[in-house]
Each structure stands twice: as structure tokens, then as C-alpha cells.
Structure 1
Amino acid sequence: MRLLRSFVTPLGFIVAISFCANWFARADTSPEHNAGGSVGAVAPIFRQLVYFRVPVSFVSVFEETHGDRYIHEWVLSGESVSNWTQMITLTGAQNVSQRHPEATPKAFAGAIASRFQRTCPTSFSAKGIYEGQLNAQDTFILVVGCGNAPTSAGHSETAVIAVVKGENDFYTLQWAQRADATPTPKDIDVNLWAGRIKSLMPLKLCPIVAGERPPYPSCVGS
């Protein structure tokens, strides 16, 4: 996701994000959120395996580990990393807990939201939709948006982002969409975005087993 390429910023929940946790529990998970089904994706990222499900309508277009950051991007079939309408992104930030013992998924999410806000201060919107645990991992999920995102070639950009705290590293799973630009903040359809992130579940972290090779049955089958 273009706005979140440099997502590791000083931690601090400095953006006021309204919260509606009940929406995540009752979000619409009808087939429109995951047309055609999905396939499991699992990979070792720093100290843990990360598993989630990718809709079959998306294809991998970019993956990179650069120092203490990891990123993998998928877009709809026929689109590209530079010209897309929807993008799914998995990121990893190494040793966040070691460098910032006070770090929480909510604080990490706030740092991401603050980056959005700096990019589009007059058309920024944000809403938290879940705080708690997913598969025994501390998690915070929010939706952020820019009505007019300068880095998105004159489009609006909205994304649902799940931030998960691992043993030492932090991970995010994101689903973003571009649309026509608006000069004011876009309304956030919480039901839509909660349904999309739920369609990528289960999102889980697993230990790396010495000598185990893809498809990592210890994680996929657990």
C-alpha cells in the first residue's frame, strides 16, 4: 500500500480515533467480500510464521525485506503495483517490543493513522473497530482514509488495518481501496471494512519449527 510503505514511525497514539468495537463482531461476511474463495498464505517473517487467507482474485506483485522491515503486496488480477484499485498488504516490523517495551497494537495503529493524517489533514478520517485478542495475540483493528491522497495520483484511499503484536515483532495486515478523490473526509462504511478484514482470517502467528519447510504444516494445520 503506497501510503503505508514507510509505516514504522515513532510510537504514540496521537490521533483521536472513534471506536465501535461491536461492528467487528457482527460484520457482513457475505460472498461479495471474498468472491471466488481464498487460499492460505504462510511465510516466516523475522521470528515467527504469519498465516492468513488471500482471496483468489488477488495476485502477488511485490515482496521485499529491507533491514528491519518486511512488506508483501497483492493486487487484483490485471492490476499492477503502480496502478491498482484494491491492494492487500502484509508487513512486519522487527524487534519493536525490544526497542519499545511499552508498545501496543493500539499505539502502533495510532502511529500509522498519524501518517495518514499528515498526508491529508483536511480529508482524513479514522475509526477503530476492534481491540482485543485474535488467536491469542494482542490486536487492534482500525479503518483510516484520505479523501484526497497526494501519493495516490489524485484518488481517495481507504484501508482497514489489523495490527498484531508478536513475541518481538509487530505485524500488520491491510486491505486498501482507491476511489474518486473528495476534498472532505470520506464516510467510513464500518460494516464493509470489518467484513473485508474478517474475510482474510484466520490471521495467526506461529513459532518457526527448525527444519520445517513450506507449506509449514505446523502452522497451517493448527
Structure 2
Amino acid sequence: MNETTTSVPKIGFASLGCPKGVRSIPTQRWLSLSVTRSSARATAMCLAGVFAAFLGTLAGAEELPAAAVVAPIFDELFVHQVPAGFKAQAEQTQASVYLRTFVLASDPSTGPWTQRILVSGTKDLGLQAELTPAMFAMQIAKGFQSSCPTSFAGGRVAEANIGTGHSVYVMLVACGSHTLTTNKAPTSEVALVAVVKGDKNMYSVQWSERGEAVATKPEPDRAVWGQRLKAITPFLVCPLKAGEAAPYASCTARR
């Protein structure tokens, strides 16, 4: 992948200032919401199960420059950015779920990592008109919260439309201490989660950072995570045209 320079949509934290058309919500307010759609809950459980199996397929790779990634996923193209200093870790499709991970070049290709970007795509979930990116994101957050009920913090960051007109929902979640690690060692974790609803599929991009476990709720540095949000955007969703091959100019030209 070649290094790219692209304009980044201004989807930021409230403290950074959100432009017109982006709704910013104070931290913690989403915790009062409930999600009752069984499809979202079932999908979140499916993702958890598939990812557990996915961990066994990891392979090493070289460090990548900053680049736009155009991934054909279940008859759509999903575009996101990978910051410089990360390397591809693994990629897998199981049934209706696509998963790909990137870790810091300084992290091992298998075993404990310090920073990871996880990209997922769930087939045909975007066809459910009643299912929103916020509902899907809520299930991710609830799964995270269940792993650290006494040291959990989180909240919505923003909602907007991306360049291709699809809706995106962004949130931060954090655990002071959990044991969702390969060796079950306690760790803290902060994750920036962005969910995009395509015409056919639902996508998520999660940038997570782990560190020493703490007993209290983490307080993420909003400036740092604001810059990281910019580093993984812009997102695009395009139809996969018959016969078109990489680099999928019909979609990337819309950046």
C-alpha cells in the first residue's frame, strides 16, 4: 500500500469542537440507553465467538506506512486508514463476519499487544432498517462493560454522515482492569470505537490501547484520542462493481 494524504472529516470530541452537522454528546449519557434488538445482541455475541477463533490464525507481517485500506467485504468496499507504525496481524472471514487486525510494529505478531486496530464487517446487517450504528456500538460497549463493571467508563463522542452518505457513530470505552487477554493477565484498556452502517453490511473500526491495570476508572486523554480518530478516517462505503479490481478507483476517487 502506498502512502496517502487525504482530507479528514472533522469528527471530534466535544472538547475539540464539532463542526456543523456533527452531534456531540457528553460522556456517560449513553449509559442510560437500552438496546432491545435481539439481532444486535446476537451479532455482538457472534463477533466475540468468531474473534476468539480468529486469534489462532495470526501471522507476522512488516510495518506499513500510513495508508488507505480498501477492503472488499461481502459485496461492498469499506475504506479506512491505517496510521504509520502499524503492521498487519491477521485477516479472516468466517461465515457472515470479516475480521482484520493491525498491531504496532514494535508489538509481537502473536501474544500480548499494546495497541491494536480491529476492523470488522458483518454481512447483510445493514439491510436491517431498524438497526442503527448506535445500537450496534452499544452492544460492543456492553460487552466491554461486562468485563470490568467496577472500573468501566465510556460515552458517545459524535454522530455524522461520512463522505458516501452513510451514518457513523463514534464512542470511547475504557476499563481500569480486565482479563480479556490471551494469558488472562489483568490489564487496563481504552478503545475508540467507530461503527459505520453500509447499504448491505455493518462495519466497525476499534483502536485499542492496553496498559497497567488500575483499580479506578480510566480518564482517556481526549486530545490524543481525537488525533487517533483523525488518523483512521475518512471512512467510505461503496458498492463492489463487477469486474473492478484493486485499487478500486471508483470508490477511492470519492475521498
How far off its partner does 1:87 sit?
A: 0.5
Does residue 1:141 correspond to 2:134, yes or no? no
Q: Percent identity?
A: 35
What does 1:92-171 align with in structure 2 at a 5 Å threshold? 92-98=121-127, 100-135=128-163, 136-152=165-181, 153-171=185-203
Match of 1:25, SS?
A: coil
Does residue 1:60 correspond to 2:88, yes or no? yes
How far off its partner does 1:23 sit?
A: 3.6
> Equivalent residue for 1:31?
none
**2:71 partner letter:** A
Give the Cα–Cα distance (whole angstroms) in 1 for the partners of residues 167 and 155 of structure 2: 18
Task: Return closer, same or farther for 1:24/1:58 CA change in 2, 3 Å cut-off.
Answer: farther
Task: Return closer, same or farther for 1:23/1:55 CA change in 2, 3 Å cut-off.
Answer: same
Whose strand proportion is higher, 1 or 2? 1
Query: What do the CA deviations read for 1:132-187 (whole angstroms, capped 9, x no partner)?
Result: 21221111100001110211321101110110010121101111100110112101
- Asked if 1 retains the 8 angstrom alpha-carbon contact of 2:133 and 2:196, the reply is yes
Structure 2: gaps (5+ residues): 1-12, 20-63
* Residue of structure 2 aligned with 1:25, choices 15, 18, 39: 18
Give the Cα–Cα distance (whole angstroms) in 1 for the partners of residues 147 and 168 of structure 2: 25
How far off its partner does 1:221 sit?
A: 2.2
Give the Cα–Cα distance (whole angstroms) in 2 for the partners of residues 106 and 53 of structure 1: 21
Give the Cα–Cα distance (whole angstroms) in 2 for the partners of residues 39 and 94 of structure 1: 25
- Asked if 1 retains the 8 angstrom alpha-carbon contact of 2:76 and 2:200, the reply is no
Give the Cα–Cα distance (whole angstroms) in 1 for the partners of residues 225 and 155 of structure 2: 11
* Residue of structure 2 aligned with 1:205, choices 212, 237, 241: 237
**1:209 partner letter:** K
Structure 1: gaps (5+ residues): 1-19, 27-35
Query: What do the CA deviations read for 1:70-114 (whole angstroms, capped 9, x no partner)?
Result: 11000011322422100111111112134x431111111111110
Match of 1:147, SS?
A: strand
* Residue of structure 2 aligned with 1:49, choices 77, 80, 83: 77
Does residue 1:88 correspond to 2:117, yes or no? yes
Task: Return closer, same or farther for 1:59/1:138 CA change in 2, 3 Å cut-off.
Answer: same
Task: Return closer, same or farther for 1:40/1:189 CA change in 2, 3 Å cut-off.
Answer: same
- Asked if 2 retains the 8 angstrom alpha-carbon contact of 1:49 and 1:207, the reply is yes
- Asked if 2 retains the 8 angstrom alpha-carbon contact of 1:125 and 1:186, the reply is yes
How far off its partner does 1:40 sit?
A: 1.4
> Equivalent residue for 1:176?
208
How far off its partner does 1:121 sit?
A: 0.4
TM score, norm. by length of structure 2: 0.71
How far off its partner does 1:194 sit?
A: 2.1
Query: What do the CA deviations read for 1:35-89 (whole angstroms, capped 9, x no partner)?
Result: x961111110113101122122101011111111111000011322422100111
Task: Return closer, same or farther for 1:88/1:62 CA change in 2, 3 Å cut-off.
Answer: same
Misfit runs of 4+, over 3 Å: 20-26
Does residue 1:71 correspond to 2:109, yes or no? no
Give the Cα–Cα distance (whole angstroms) in 2 for the partners of residues 208 and 63 of structure 1: 19
- Asked if 1 retains the 8 angstrom alpha-carbon contact of 2:15 and 2:222, the reply is no
Give the stretch that moved more between structures: 138-147 or 100-109: 100-109
How far off its partner does 1:191 sit?
A: 2.4
How far off its partner does 1:206 sit?
A: 1.2
Give the count of matched residue pairs: 194
How far off its partner does 1:24 sit?
A: 6.3
